[in-house]
Amino acid sequence: MSGHSKWATTKHKKAIIDSKRGKIFTRHAKEIAVAARIGGGDPEGNPRLRTAILKAREDNMPQDNIKKAIQRGTGEIPGAQYEEYQFEGHGPKGVAIILKVMTDNKNRTVPELRTIFSKNGGALGENGCVSWMFDSKGLITVDKSSLPEDQVMDLALEAGADDAVIHEDVYEFLTAPQDFSHVLEVIKSKKITPSFAEVTMIPQTTVPLEGKDAQTMMRLMEMLEDHDDVQHVYANFDIPDDILESLSS
C-alpha cells in the first residue's frame, strides 16, 4: 500500500477507541453541513451528503447530531458557515502533503498551519506545488480473511472498480471518485465489511522514510490531523509497516 493508505488504515483502526471522539464528530458535522449547503439536505439526491452520513454512522455519531448538522448546512438552524480550502506543502525529505481544510476563519487557520509545518521539518507551499503528484481515487480496503483471493478480480469487475490490488494482508479496491459509493455498496452486499473506505488522494510516487525522518513525519501528520480545521491529510511518505505501527501506538 502507499504510505498514505497504510497511515490512514492504521488511524481508522484506532478511531473506535479514540479518546478524541468529540473531534471526530466535529469533523463529520462540518462535512455533513458543507455537503448539505452545496447539494441540499436530501441524501438520496446528494451523493456527497450520503457518503458523509455513512461515514458518521460508522463512527457511531448520534442521529440527532447528524440531523442538526444537515439543518445547519441548509440554514434551517443557525451555525458557523464553513468554507473549504486545499493547502499544500512539504515535509521531511521533500514528502508531498495535501490538506483538506474547513474553516470559518481562513486568516486564523493559515498562520497556525504554517507554524505546524515549520516546527516539524516542513513548509507550507503554494497551491499546485504538490497536487500534481496525486490522483483522486476511491479506496476500499478489505481484510484477506473476508474473501478468497481467486474471487477478488471477479468482485472488482462486478462492482465496477477500476482495479484491485492484492497485498500481504489486505485487498485494495480502487475506484473513480464518482463510482465509490456504488462499489462500496456492492462489496457490503456480499457481507464484507471494509477495514477502510474513503475517497482519497493516492500518490503516484512515494518517499521512503526511516529513523528520525520517520519520527518527524509522524509528529507532523499527527499535529496536522489534530488541528480543529483540518479534515484530511494526504502525504506520499512510505514508512515500513513495523516502524509505522510502533510510531502510531
- Confirm whether 55 is domain-assigned: no
pLDDT tops 50 at residue 15: no
Q: Which domain holds residue 157?
A: 134-203
Question: In sequence order, what are the residues at sequence separation of 6 or more whose Cβ sits closer than 8 angstroms to the Cβ of residue 127?
Answer: 86, 87, 88
pLDDT for 4: 53
pLDDT digits (tens, 9 = 90+) for 111-131: 999 999 999 999 999 999 999
- Confirm whether 164 is domain-assigned: yes
- In this prediction, what percent of the chain has a pLDDT beyond 90? 65
- Confirm whether 18 is domain-assigned: no
- Confirm whether 186 is domain-assigned: yes
Q: What is the mean pLDDT of the chain?
A: 88
pLDDT for 216: 94
pLDDT digits (tens, 9 = 90+) for 90-111: 999 999 999 999 999 999 999 9
pLDDT tops 90 at residue 168: no
- Confirm whether 95 is domain-assigned: no
pLDDT for 86: 96
pLDDT tops 50 at residue 159: yes
pLDDT tops 90 at residue 195: no
At 13, the pLDDT band (50, 70, 90 cuts) reads very low
Asked if 132 and 248 count as a contact pair (C-beta separation under 8 A), the reply is: no
At 14, the pLDDT band (50, 70, 90 cuts) reads very low
For the chain, how many structural domains are there in total? 1
Which CATH number is 192's domain given? 3.30.70.980
| DSSP letters for the chain | --HHHHHHHHHHHHHTT-TTHHHHHHHHHHHHHHHHHHH-S-GGG-HHHHHHHHHHHHTT--HHHHHHHHHHHHTSS-----EEEEEEEE-GGG-EEEEEEEES-HHHHHHHHHHHHHHTT-EE--TTSSGGGEEEEEEEEEEGGGS-GGGHHHHHHHHT-SEEEE-SSEEEEEE-GGGHHHHHHHHHHTT---SEEEEEEEESS-EE--HHHHHHHHHHHHHHHHSTTEEEEEE-EE--HHHHHHHH-
Mean pLDDT, residues 156-182 taken together: 91
pLDDT for 8: 59
pLDDT digits (tens, 9 = 90+) for 23-51: 888 899 999 999 999 999 999 999 899 98
- In this prediction, what percent of the chain has a pLDDT beyond 70? 90
At 19, the pLDDT band (50, 70, 90 cuts) reads very low
At 59, the pLDDT band (50, 70, 90 cuts) reads confident
pLDDT tops 50 at residue 84: yes
Mean pLDDT, residues 191-215 taken together: 90
